[in-house]
Amino acid sequence: MDGRTLARLGAVIFVSIAVTATAIEMTRTDETPPNPVPAIAAPAAPDPLREGQRRCQRLGEAGARDAECLRVWAESRDRFLGLDRERPSTTPQATSPAPTSDDPVSKQTAPATPLRAEER
């Protein structure tokens, strides 16, 4: 058998398999109901936590200092993490105390300058 005949035979086999697969797929029936009824979700009761989150979102940057927003965010975080609601509530302080002059975090430090050996 020469190469041309072998190629034609392969093409005929490929086309016949494709036609057979198409015929089988076209005669197959779907197992879904003819008119599926879409599921309509019942309107949920308004969630006070979500309303609090929306209010804090509208506050913008001021929400980070609002005690109610801090409480809402803590409750939202606890709900997301699945933490126990029975534990004592620890709400963060609304405002942090003013730093004193002894506070090492608030002290201004001079920028670090490289030593002679480190200069390049």
pLDDT in tens, 51-85: 999 999 999 999 999 999 999 999 999 999 998 76
| pLDDT for 5 | 94
pTM assigned to the model: 0.36
Helix (H, G, I), strand (E, B) or coil at 91: coil
| pLDDT for 39 | 72
Task: With a cut of 80, say whether residue 48 has pLDDT above it.
Answer: yes
Convert the pLDDT of each residue in 74-119 to its tens digit.
999 999 999 876 655 555 555 555 555 565 555 555 556 656 665 5
| pLDDT for 41 | 72
| pLDDT for 69 | 94
Listed by start position, the domains of the chain span 48-81
| pLDDT for 71 | 94
* 3-state DSSP of the chain: CCHHHHHHHHHHHHHHHHHHHHHHHHHCCCCCCCCCCCCCCCCCCCCHHHHHHHHHHHHHHHHHHCHHHHHHHHHHHHHHHCCCCCCCCCCCCCCCCCCCCCCCCCCCCCCCCCCHHHCC
| pLDDT for 47 | 84
12 confidence band (pLDDT: 50, 70, 90)? very high
